[in-house]
Structure 1
Amino acid sequence: MSTVKRWTVDVLVNDDEGRTYAEACLHSGEADTRLVGIGRAKLNPADRDIPEIGDELAAARALCDLGQRLLVEAANDIEAVTHEPVRLRR
């Protein structure tokens, strides 16, 4: 029988004067792993201010950063078990 695990990611976004900051926080349930990815966006002064675009960019960058951090965490866990260097592909 397979086991379903629930992991949740909260994405928090904050805008302030043309700068957007986002955090993507992973909560992995029973293992209680908590990882945070960071993303930023800055409005180009020549562009029209459309806050939703800054939110999307910052959130996407935070999620990419979170994914990279999760790969590093997995590689560290594998190395701890195998005592061999690990190099994971993206």
Structure 2
Amino acid sequence: MHTTKRWNIDILLSEESEGDSARTMAEAGLDSQDGVGLRGHGMARKHPTDDDVPEIGDELAVSRALADLSRQLRQVAAEDISDHTGTPWRP
């Protein structure tokens, strides 16, 4: 038997700027067919003396949101393993 599943991750980016500084926020959302619904968050800040390269803020904020999402998904898996085996999972 072969099964294929698709999990999609939506990325939402927003940027706030004030003077020479800026802040980029990212939200990574996972909604699977299995009912898993998680949201990871990340942020990046531009120092006033940094060059204005918005892509860098996007990349950092998204990578941090995905790392947060990954941590949450690993926790869900650990809880599922514990529930099914009665033994705590250690990463």
Query: Which structure features the higher share of strand residues?
Result: 2
Count of residues in Structure 1 that have an aligned counterpart in Structure 2: 87
Per-residue deviation at 1:50? 1.3
* 1:4-36 Cα deviation digits (max 9, x unpaired): 00100001110011001000001111x111011
Following the alignment from structure 1 to structure 2, what is the Cα–Cα distance between the partners of residues 53 and 74? 31
Per the normalisation by structure 1, the TM-score is: 0.92
Identity of aligned residues (%): 48
Select the residue among 24, 28, 36 that pairs with 1:24. 28
5+ residue gaps, structure 1, are none
Following the alignment from structure 2 to structure 1, what is the Cα–Cα distance between the partners of residues 42 and 2? 35
Following the alignment from structure 1 to structure 2, what is the Cα–Cα distance between the partners of residues 83 and 3? 27
Off by >6 Å, runs of 4+ in structure 1: none
5+ residue gaps, structure 2, are none
